[in-house]
Amino acid sequence: MVLAVSEDWSAGGAGNGLGTLYAFQKACMLAQAKYGVDLFASLGEKNISAALYHTAGKGTRMAPLPASENNNKPAVRLPATVGVGGEKVPMTVLEAVIKQTSVYAPSRKGRLSVFWGDQVFIPSASTLYTPKFHVDIMCTLGLMVGAEEWKEKGLEKYGVIAVGNSGEAAQVEKVDHSTAVEMLKSLGNVEKVGPSLGSFSMSAEMVGALTQEYKRELDQRVGKFDTDPHFWMPMTLSKVDYVKLMVGKGVASETATSHYERMDAFKLSFTGASTNANMGLFGAVDVGSKACWWDYGQLKLYSRNNLKMLEDTEDASLLRSFMGATLRVMDSSCGDVVVDKQSCMFSSKLSEGSVTGSILSGVNSKSIVADGAILVNVSASKIRAAKGSILYNVVDDSEEGIVVDEGEVIVGVFQSDGNCVNVKSSIGVDGGKAWKESIMGNPQSFEDIHLANKNADVTAIEDVRKAMHEKVAKSLLI
């Protein structure tokens, strides 16, 4: 069963803590209305495992790619293809995430798993396990290290999960070694530590209890609470350490103290209930020290992690295998195009030219010269793509074709009436910082485009875009 819900919250959003509870609430109502299924009851009876995928923000740092998918960040396409309705089409980031995370479903009957829609990770540890905690969070664990190695590994830059010899875990966020040791002393002997991936799962009992605890906020759709600072850390740290950490983040001492006391009372009530005594409170799920993790949440990471498919490394081989790329060139007609051994090409039709150190998916062109570029869903008579460039969802019916300079990014933003605007950026541009600016000759800022896209008819636009690609492709007579 697939259920899609949106967050109609007050200004500023719910945060990923309240956002998780609210999304699951809405999913339960939708499941009942659409399928007559009591989702929460099925979870409580351990008949099902459920997974929730957050869109992980507006995608400002990934701009302008999400604009080409009507503001749908997880719908941004990767170069690898997947079969849909008898056709090979580029796989979306969300499809890749679902494909990867589904391996945990057999171990999580009676639990709600929460994942982010812009990260793909391949565990090196077994994905089969027996949950022993009401909350478990994914991380890459290694032995506890000293101050020097803590700094070398950059652990002060991450949310870190620490596991004591009892198996109970605690979370600290962006602290140095001495601070971490002090804050984690409640665990006793800390055996393992590692950066958190952020993804977690909760028992049905924990989902129900947190939903009841935050009933007022959920009913009134007010407040903003994230899982790490507002749920997990006050559950696993002492009051003194929690308040100190939050004050360091700019939170007023009184606010931090009040929230800690609320969560501490919740914790005492939850752990004191006999129905919850079958498991511990908070634990870790180790994905393995050799796990691969590919983040597509920024434009530069989208470029880097897609170009990784071209490498001859173990990591790249695993990525190609996961993406179903059993060959470097698949489902493609290359004509007289010279394609080097490094490049990857999927579901493309080309006539002449050269492709060097590039990755192409769904590209139609009579003449192409691509060097170190990424092209996804592009149809044009001529294409010239320089190093580090990205062409994404672009249709060009002119004789001169399209030229994209080194490091330049061009994406097509379509409307249901057939109008299309090519929006430009550069790999060096942080879309979050440039969100309100009109850059590189664009008539609108990324924010303006985002607002204009809000009420777009996604299905109609997809049909229009597909028809435009087909029209240009047929005209090329490849």
Predicted confidence (pLDDT) per residue in 2-15, tens digit: 999 988 898 788 99
Cα 440 to Cα 391: distance, rounded to the nearest angstrom: 15
The per-residue pLDDT for 70 is: 92
Mean pLDDT of the chain: 93
Mean pLDDT, range 267-285, rounded to an integer? 95
pLDDT score, position 89? 87
Look at residue 406 and tell me whether its pLDDT is greater than 70.
yes
Res 382 pLDDT > 80: yes
**Which helix (DSSP H) or strand (DSSP E) does residue 34 occupy?**
helix 15-35
Answer yes or no: is pLDDT of 57 > 80. Answer: no
pLDDT at 305: 94
> Can you give the residue ranges of every domain in the chain?
298-476
Please say whether the beta carbons of 152 and 146 come within 8 A: no
- The answer to which of 69-78, 154-163, 283-292 has the lowest mean pLDDT is 154-163
Lowest pLDDT segment from 10-19, 35-44, 95-104, 304-313:
10-19
CB neighbourhood size of 254 (10 A): 9
- Using one digit for the tens of pLDDT, what is the confidence trace for 181-236? 887 877 778 888 888 888 999 999 999 999 999 999 999 999 999 999 999 999 99
The 10s digit of each residue's pLDDT in 239-267 is 999 999 899 989 999 999 999 999 999 99
Cα–Cα nearest to 310, from 368, 355, 359 = 359
The reported pLDDT for the residue numbered 164 is: 87
For residue 158, pLDDT beyond 80: no
Question: pLDDT at position 478, please?
Answer: 67
Token match 């908070």: residue? 282
Q: Single out the residue of 300, 286, 282, 298 nearest to residue 232, CA to CA.
A: 282
Q: How far is CA 336 from CA 202, 230, 355, 369, in A?
A: 55, 59, 11, 12
pLDDT score for 467: 93
**Tens of pLDDT along 337-381?**
999 999 999 999 999 999 999 999 999 999 999 999 999 999 999
Q: 254: helix, coil or strand?
A: helix
More confident residue, 145 or 47: 47
Per-residue pLDDT, averaged over 166-187, amounts to 82
pTM, full prediction: 0.88
Q: What is the pLDDT averaged over residues 131-135?
A: 97
Number of H helices, E strands in the chain: 15, 23
> How confident is the model at residue 461, as a pLDDT?
93
Whether residue 58 is predicted with pLDDT greater than 90 in this model: the reply is no
